[in-house]
Each structure stands twice: as structure tokens, then as C-alpha cells.
Amino acid sequence: MTGAMTAATTDTSASTGIRNLPWQKVTIAVVIVALAVLCATTPQFFTINNAKAILASASIVGLAALGGTFIMIVGSIVSLATAQTMAVIAMVFLASQQLGLVPAIAVALLAGAAIQAIQGALVGYWSANPVVLTIAAAFALTGLATFVTGGTTVYPTVNNFEVLNSTPLGIPLSVFVFIGAAVLAEIILRRTVRGQQMYLVGENRRAARAAGLPVPHIVLFAWVVGGVLLAVGALFLAAFNTTATINLGGTITFDAIAAVLAGGTAIAGGKGSALRTVGGTLAIAIIADLLLLRGFSTGAQLLVKGLLVLVLVIVVHLESKREK
């Protein structure tokens, strides 16, 4: 009897010990060590051109991930319509080129804000399930784009967007814009009243409502800011590809989600930061680059990203249990 009790106590202590491990820090340390080893043993990784390629690919995904960070922090989980939203914005931007670059950018930013505002209003004011809603939005945007274009590729009549493909100091312009957007997003989140309110709503929406916070307005704000950031990313996506179809976004929905989670933003809301999303974005871009340099197929890259997201979700769950 005593032995059984001792064994049970030992099992409980072991379980408590595992639960109390700082899983997020352990995982980050393991990932950093693994990446360092892989980088050091991968030919062609430490080259200037490869570094530029990583930064260029990270910048567009990163802008989408920054938008996703706002949505996740306010407690709206994720948007599964990111790729379709960016594709539609890119099509609008290219189709508006005859207006001139600045008006075309303004039209694209307004389109991004409007598309996300509709979804944010449904989530904020009518408590729509964001996952189900964004799945519906993805279908709706695909259908709308196909109906308007007849399923054909959108070509610009003039190429006013070429400046977006410029490389100041040898680095793509999108990288500078990504860094600037990340700093601005961090300031909004950390230094403004609305940013702090977003964390409170994401952590406990019922308590935020009881405290008198305008929860629907705050949720709508997060989605609109997210939409503008998506639109900025879509501008560079369109300029880089020079044409657009509804499939232009590719796997950017899942790339952006992986980047946000890799940065440590809580999928349940209330925690996270723009600067940590930058770190997550770079980590995902480096992993994709390593797999590419080592000759792995696109399918293998997607598989690794999927497993990484699964591990991160488990880690965040264990971390939240430990904090409770």
C-alpha cells in the first residue's frame, strides 16, 4: 500500500515537473540550436545573395503575419482567407495602375481595409466564429474574383509599380517597409490605449466587456489594421509577380499563421508582439531556405511547416497550463 502510494506520488511529481517546465523557452532554445547546426552544415547558406533571398521572401510573408498578429492578439484566432484577400488586393492594385501609383496604392489599401472591416464587424458585433467566417470569406473572394475576371489573369496596362521592386542599398524595398511596419505595429500595440485594450479583449472578452470597454470597436480596429498590413504585403506581391490571379497568394495563409505562432503569439489571444512575429517570420523563412538548399521538395517544406505549427500549438497549450 505504502509502495503504491509512493509510486503514485512519484508519478504525480514527475507529471507536475513536466507540466512546470518552461516549454516555450525550451522549444526556442532547441530550435535555435538545430537551426545553427543546419545553417553551418548547409553549403551556400552563408552567402550575401542567399541572405537577400531570405529577407525578400520573409518581408511579404511578414507583412501578412503582422496583420495576423493583430487578429490573434484580439482573440479572433486566425484568418484563413489571407491568401485570397491578398490576391484580390493585388488584382485591384494592378487593375488600378492607369490611375497612377499613389492612387492605385490608396485604392488597394482601402480594399484591404474594407474586406477585413466586414469580417471584423461580423466577429466584433455579431460574435461570428472567425474560423468559419474566414473560410466563407475565402470562398466568397475566390468566387467574386473569378466572376469579375472570368478566371483570367489580371495584367496592368502600365507598370507604375516598378518602384516597389527597387533595391535601395542592394536590399529589396519590401524589407525596409516590413521593418518599418513592424516598428509601427509594435508602437500601436504597446504604446497606445487601443493597443492595450486589444490585449485585454483577447485575454478575457467577457471581463473586458464588464469593464466597459467597447469590445466590438476594438475587434473591428484590429481587423482593419490587419487588413491594411495585408494590403501593403499584397502591393509587393503584385509588383514582384507583375500579374495576378486568385491563386497568387499560394501558401501564404499558412506561412503567416506559422510565423505568428513561431513568434510566440497566443492563438487564444491576449499575448504576443509584432517584434516577436518578425523573429518567427525569419525563423520560418530560414527553415524554408534550408530545406530548399538541401534539395527538399515543396511538399516536404509544407510538411515541415505543418509539423512546426503542430508543435508550437502543443507548446503554447503546455505553457498556458503551466502559467495557470
pLDDT at res. 27: 76
277 close to 69: Cβ distance less than 8 angstroms: yes
pLDDT at res. 81: 96
Domains of the chain by start residue, with CATH: 47-323 (1.10.3470)
> What is the pLDDT averaged over residues 242-256?
93
pLDDT at res. 67: 96
> Per-residue confidence at 229, pLDDT binned at 50, 70, 90?
very high
Task: Dump pLDDT digits (tens) for 63-93.
Answer: 999 999 999 999 998 899 999 999 999 999 9
> What is the pLDDT averaged over residues 226-237?
97
* Cβ neighbours of residue 320 closer than 8 Å, sequence gap 6 or more: 266, 268
pLDDT at res. 145: 96
* Cβ neighbours of residue 248 closer than 8 Å, sequence gap 6 or more: 83, 86, 87, 90, 91, 237, 238, 241
The overall average pLDDT reported for the chain is 89
pLDDT at 54 over 90: yes
pLDDT at 230 over 90: yes
> What is the pLDDT averaged over residues 283-289?
90
263 close to 69: Cβ distance less than 8 angstroms: yes
CB count in 10 Å sphere of residue 182: 23
Phi-psi group of 10: left, alpha or beta (phi > 0 → left; psi -120 to 50 → alpha; rest → beta): alpha
pLDDT at res. 324: 59
pLDDT at res. 298: 82
The Cα 4–Cα 66 span in angstroms is: 52
What amino acid is encoded at 272 in this protein? G
Task: Dump pLDDT digits (tens) for 110-147.
Answer: 999 999 999 999 999 999 999 999 999 999 999 999 99
The Cα 138–Cα 141 span in angstroms is: 5
pLDDT at 100 over 80: yes
The Cα 181–Cα 152 span in angstroms is: 32
pLDDT at res. 224: 98
254 close to 305: Cβ distance less than 8 angstroms: yes
pLDDT at res. 235: 97
> Per-residue confidence at 44, pLDDT binned at 50, 70, 90?
confident
In this prediction the pTM is 0.88
Q: Which of 227, 225, 248 lies closest to 154, judged by CA?
A: 248
pLDDT at res. 25: 74
> What is the pLDDT averaged over residues 256-285?
91
> What is the pLDDT averaged over residues 205-221?
95
> What is the pLDDT averaged over residues 166-190?
96
The Cα 315–Cα 49 span in angstroms is: 34
What DSSP string describes 160-183? GGGGGG--GGGS-HHHHHHHHHHH
> What is the pLDDT averaged over residues 255-265?
90
The Cα 284–Cα 312 span in angstroms is: 12
282 close to 260: Cβ distance less than 8 angstroms: no
The Cα 306–Cα 108 span in angstroms is: 31
pLDDT at 1 over 50: no
Task: Dump pLDDT digits (tens) for 4-28.
Answer: 555 555 555 555 555 555 666 777 7
Give the chain's radius of gyration (CA, Å).
21
Say which residue, 70 or 309, is predicted with more confidence: 70
